[in-house]
Amino acid sequence: MESEQQPNPGSLGALLRQVPQRFELLQALLILEREQQAADSLGTGSDLEGELARLRAQQTVDSLGTGSDPEREVVRLRGPLLPEFAPSEISSLRLVPNVKVPGARLTLHTQVFGLGGPDGPLPYAYQEWLQQRARNRDHGTVAFLDLFQHRLLSLMYRVQQRQRVALPYRQPALSPVYQQLRALCGLSSSSVEQLTVLPERALIARAGLLANRRRSLAGFQNLLKHYFDLPVQLHGYQGAWQQIASSDQSVLGRKGRNLTLGRNALCGTRAWDEHAGIHIRLGPQEPRMAERFMPGQEAHQQLAALVAFYFGAQLRCTVSVHVTSSAILTLGHQQPAALGQGTRLNRVARTGDFRIDLRLHEEGST
């Protein structure tokens, strides 16, 4: 591998080389690998010869733990060989002369994991013997053990990238657990099309609630409260008349049907369903904030999508938006009002909040 390309002054890579003890091992390795990936592409810089050299260096660099030649990786890793406790995960990060090719090799010393150290498999007496050999300028045994330590640390780095639940220093969507959380929330390909008005991260953040297939009013109230950031109250058992299908209705006569008393005999064409819907109380809030929930607005569509996703599209939902009376809107060009939604005649002075009643249908309209 060629000599390391120096990072820009003041960058995170430069700070890593100055004070490596302030970084975690995983963070440092991610920074070093991304520096190599972020090098200028051929033909985009002003120095063509420098770009060719960087391109040749990139072509000979493997990701940690993926290749068979450690010399082709971005950094050389060395583990502990002393029975001592280190105050930080990284002991040092410096350039070490390369005996195979001209130039220096970036080498990182860590005390996190390895053959030696206070918790390593090597006995303390053997680690002390290695230090004595090093003082006598015999580094052959240490260099041989470093081959295994580099491989162990590289594999640990790969395992952390793949199996760590919340991988830091990376976008949440690139986390290994992100797809599992989507599956727990029920965000399949069919449901994603219906939730285009909702940010996916808002649902992923409530995976603990959505993973439970038993839907409760308390869980949905918590979901709305954190999503819209306002007081929310839910009331269940909002009954309504449901139309009975013609095939289930009772018909008298010789060719009648559904006439067995106590089983399928029905009188009428409608039935009262006590669990037909719910009522949502939003607020109190300022008039300008309440306008978000008017029909056609984004918050109104998001609320309808949340209700359909959580309870199903067949649930009837009524909404009452409570508006504080501290700021009463007046008619004018500056404050246009919507008739039948948030407008009322203030003939008599009254105390308390105003209420705007809405109804959500399956398609999200009123």
For residue 44, the model assigns a pLDDT of 38
Looking at residues 35-62, what average pLDDT do you find? 50
Query: Does the structure show a pLDDT above 80 at 14?
Result: yes
For residue 55, the model assigns a pLDDT of 45
What would the two tokens of residue 204 be?
Answer: 């992923």
For residue 286, the model assigns a pLDDT of 86
Please give the model's pTM, rounded to 2 decimal places.
0.63
| Residue 154 near residue 65 (C-beta atoms within 8 A) | yes
Q: Which residues contact 14 (CB under 8 A, 6 or more apart)?
A: 7, 8
Of residues 267 and 71, the one with the higher pLDDT is: 267
Q: In the chain, what percentage of residues exceed pLDDT 70?
A: 76
Tell me whether strands 316-323 and 354-360 are parallel, antiparallel or unpaired: antiparallel
pLDDT band (50, 70, 90) for residue 46: very low
Query: Does the structure show a pLDDT above 50 at 48?
Result: no
* β-pair partners for 78: 109
DSSP 283-334: EEE-HHHHGGGSTTSHHHHHHHHHHHHHH-TT-EEEEEEEE-TTS----SSS
| Residue 35 near residue 13 (C-beta atoms within 8 A) | yes
Of residues 306 and 366, the one with the higher pLDDT is: 306
Looking at residues 211-235, what average pLDDT do you find? 93
pLDDT band (50, 70, 90) for residue 198: confident
Write out the H or E segment, with its range, that includes residue 14. helix 12-18
Alpha-carbon gap, residue 326 to 328, rounded angstroms: 6
pLDDT band (50, 70, 90) for residue 351: low
Is cis: bond before 199, omega within 30 of 0?
Answer: no
Query: Does the structure show a pLDDT above 80 at 59?
Result: no
Q: Say which amino acid occupies 57.
A: A
Of residues 168 and 146, the one with the higher pLDDT is: 146
Residue 246 in 3-state DSSP? helix
Q: What is the mean pLDDT of the chain?
A: 80
For residue 41, the model assigns a pLDDT of 32
Query: Does the structure show a pLDDT above 90 at 164?
Result: no
Of residues 48 and 314, the one with the higher pLDDT is: 314
Of residues 87 and 72, the one with the higher pLDDT is: 87
Alpha-carbon gap, residue 189 to 194, rounded angstroms: 9
Query: Does the structure show a pLDDT above 70 at 192?
Result: no
Query: Does the structure show a pLDDT above 50 at 365?
Result: no
Alpha-carbon gap, residue 133 to 326, rounded angstroms: 82
Query: Does the structure show a pLDDT above 90 at 221?
Result: yes
Q: What angle do CA 23, 24, 26 make, to 5 degrees?
A: 125
Q: Which of 186, 188, 185, 187 is nearest to 206 (CA)?
A: 185
| Residue 51 near residue 86 (C-beta atoms within 8 A) | no
For residue 77, the model assigns a pLDDT of 92
Q: Which of 167-171, 181-185, 219-223, 338-342 has the highest mean pLDDT?
A: 219-223
Query: Does the structure show a pLDDT above 80 at 18?
Result: yes
Residues in the chain: 366
Alpha-carbon gap, residue 263 to 354, rounded angstroms: 48
For residue 23, the model assigns a pLDDT of 93
For residue 161, the model assigns a pLDDT of 81
Q: How far is CA 347 from the centre of its chain?
A: 51
Spell 238-264 as b/e; 16+ CB within 10 A means b: beeeeeeeeeebbeeeeeeeeeeeeee
Query: Does the structure show a pLDDT above 50 at 43?
Result: no
Query: Does the structure show a pLDDT above 70 at 162?
Result: yes
The answer to which of 173-182, 189-198, 222-231, 272-281 has the lowest mean pLDDT is 189-198
Alpha-carbon gap, residue 241 to 1, rounded angstroms: 77
Cβ atoms within 10 A of the Cβ of 354, count? Answer: 18
